[in-house]
Amino acid sequence: MKLKLAGALVAAFVLLLGSSIARADTLTVDDVQFTGTVTATTATLTVQCTNSSVCGNWFLGDVTLKGFSLTTSAAGTAPTGYTFKAGGQNNDAVATGGGCNGKDTGGAVCWDAPTTLTKMGTTLFTFTATLTGGSTSGPLHVQATAYDNSGGIGTHGHKVLAVSQDLTGGGGNNVPEPSSLLLLVPGLLGLGLLRRSAFSGVRA
């Protein structure tokens, strides 16, 4: 009986860990690195220029993370001036607060850029959204724009970056959420005690 209970607990912890695994994918385009992560409760997109001589003087426009399923979404955190909107993005739209189009609200989250864009430098930009029922079944997808001016003027070559690609560079690394790890440790300790108790009456 105790052995069956221990087995059931092992199965429960495996399921718990599996249900809390985060999908993390990366992509680098023109020395700009994008990393997306989705869990049941949070979507995160980070953007960073890794070579200041190439993209350090660019200005980041609207950004979107898509390619996953969710029931609802709400604002999380974003750099100053960015506005969260549920749904996807149109890369042909105006850079400063016009790209988020509100489409695909069940599979995308978007952040509209401020009127005056922020120079990228090598700063790590982190965008998050709070999700209900977030889940992934394939690679995440990023959309983003960047410009060589703070006004987001995109004509005559001033739009220096327009990305709409799957984030596959990271190979979909699995990252357990901190809450899973906190639950896993006492669970393993409990299993050890159960195992010890189950065999305490057995003599060699």
**Higher-confidence position of 107 and 99:** 107
Domains assigned to the chain: 22-174 (2.60.40)
Q: For tokens 């998050």, what's the residue?
A: 128
Cα dihedral 186/191/194/200 (nearest 10): -120
Q: What is the pLDDT of residues 26-70, one digit of tens each?
A: 999 999 999 999 999 999 999 999 999 999 999 999 999 999 999
Q: How far apart are CA 33 and CA 55, in angstroms?
A: 11
CB 102 within 8 Å of CB 89: no
Q: What is the pLDDT of residues 136-190, one digit of tens each?
A: 988 999 999 999 999 988 888 899 999 999 998 544 333 444 444 444 445 444 5
**Higher-confidence position of 6 and 73:** 73
Which amino acid belongs to residue 91? N
Which pLDDT belongs to residue 175? 40
Q: For tokens 């394939």, what's the residue?
A: 138
Q: How far apart are CA 9 and CA 198, in angstroms?
A: 14
Partners of 23 in the beta sheet?
38, 174
Task: Give backbone dihedrals phi and psi of 86, rounded to 5 degrees, phi first.
Answer: -70, 145
Q: How far apart are CA 114 and CA 112, in angstroms?
A: 7
pTM flag (> 0.75): no
CB 76 within 8 Å of CB 42: yes
**Tokens found for residue 92:** 């042909």
